Amino acid sequence: MAENLTTTITSESKTVEIHRSNPTVIIGERINPTGRENLLAELKEGKFDIVRSDAQKQVEAGAAILDVNAGVPGADEEPILKEMVEILMEVTDVPLCIDTADNPALETALSTYKGKALINSVNGEEARLESVLPLVKEYEASVIGLCMDDDGIPQTPQDRFQVAAKIIERADKLGIPPQNIVIDPLALTMGSDHNAGRIAIETIELVVEEFGVNVTMGCSNISFGMPDREHIDSTFIAMAILAGMTCPITNPLHEEVNLAVQAADLVMGRDEYGMNWIKSYRARQKEE
């Protein structure tokens, strides 16, 4: 089994180290207009009140990194993303995950950001490898590698593993070390494929055993279209942590999911004397 690697993400004043011996790092997912009509409307009007509020609430709830996405249909993403990055650096000190498929917007955001960012994302498609990896190298960033390529999303864990291997190999040729690659095995909805959770978890196990790299996923995808989603999400996220996931992209404001992460860390021996769990319990009791 490969040695577990440490991925370091920084802001101007804070460092987050992602490693399997450390508590799970939550990447807050809420600063994304996809499916959020109120945020989408604000961004179209050039307003950022929800961005500020969501950043602060997610950090208070336990997010150690914030994903930031400025994908407004029909709008020029570059200036919106730049302003969002600047605002987030003002209102919080946690590192950022810059989430865009627009290369000019990505480069502008990276040049604006003060720290070592996490980029979301590259995949195994030739065009993405050739356009994103040089920016990862130039800005000494880390990057999420999605297990999909020019043929789409593979249907088996073994084929997704091969895409992960391709991304890591191509990054290495540019001098990007494997600790700067965070693999996303892709959590697809079990509403359309009841094997989706199993495939994602088996892919995690293959990637961790061979490469020791850190692993993320957009965990709420797994329950899309299903009832009682938070029960599914919390169970899946705990199982994925056991398999080797270290930094899920999720909503820390969902208490059931957040508690599943804390409980998984406790069971995995990453919460010394259970102090984080006890602190969380006392905070919940105080609120009640």
Instruction: Identify whether 192 is preceded by a cis peptide bond (ω within 30 of 0).
Output: no
Q: Is the CB of residue 171 less than 8 Å from the CB of residue 144?
A: no
What are the Cα distances from residue 228, in Å, to 55, 127, 231, 232? 26, 38, 6, 7
Residue 286 lies in a domain: no
Residue 271 lies in a domain: no
Q: Which domain holds residue 213?
A: 7-229+240-252
Residue 12 lies in a domain: yes
Residue 200 phi/psi, 5-degree rounding, is -65, -45
User: Which 3 state secondary structure label does DSSP give 142?
Assistant: strand
Identify which of 127, 133, 135 has the alpha carbon closest to the alpha carbon of residue 145: 133
pLDDT digits (tens, 9 = 90+) for 147-192: 999 999 999 999 999 999 999 999 999 999 999 999 999 999 999 9
Beta sheet of 249-250, edge-to-edge order: 214-215, 181-184, 142-146, 118-123, 96-99, 65-69, 27-31, 249-250
Q: How far apart are CA 185 and CA 145, in angstroms?
A: 8
What mean pLDDT comes out for the span 6-11? 98
- Percentage with pLDDT > 90 across the chain: 99
What mean pLDDT comes out for the span 8-19? 98
Cβ within 8 Å of residue 35, ≥6 positions away = none
Residue 267 lies in a domain: no
Report pLDDT for 252. 95
Confidence of residue 11 (pLDDT cuts 50, 70, 90): very high
pLDDT digits (tens, 9 = 90+) for 94-119: 999 999 999 999 999 999 999 999 99
Query: How many other CB atoms are there within 10 angstroms of residue 228's CB atom?
Result: 8
pLDDT mean across residues, the chain = 97
What mean pLDDT comes out for the span 239-267? 97
Identify which of 182, 175, 177, 110 has the alpha carbon closest to the alpha carbon of residue 144: 182
Using the predicted structure, report yes or no on whether residue 66 has a pLDDT greater than 90: yes
Residue 137 lies in a domain: yes
Report pLDDT for 1. 83
What CATH number does residue 159 fall under?
Answer: 3.20.20.20
For the chain, how many structural domains are there in total?
A: 1
Residue 266 lies in a domain: no
Residue 22 lies in a domain: yes
pTM above 0.75, yes or no: yes
Residue 140 lies in a domain: yes
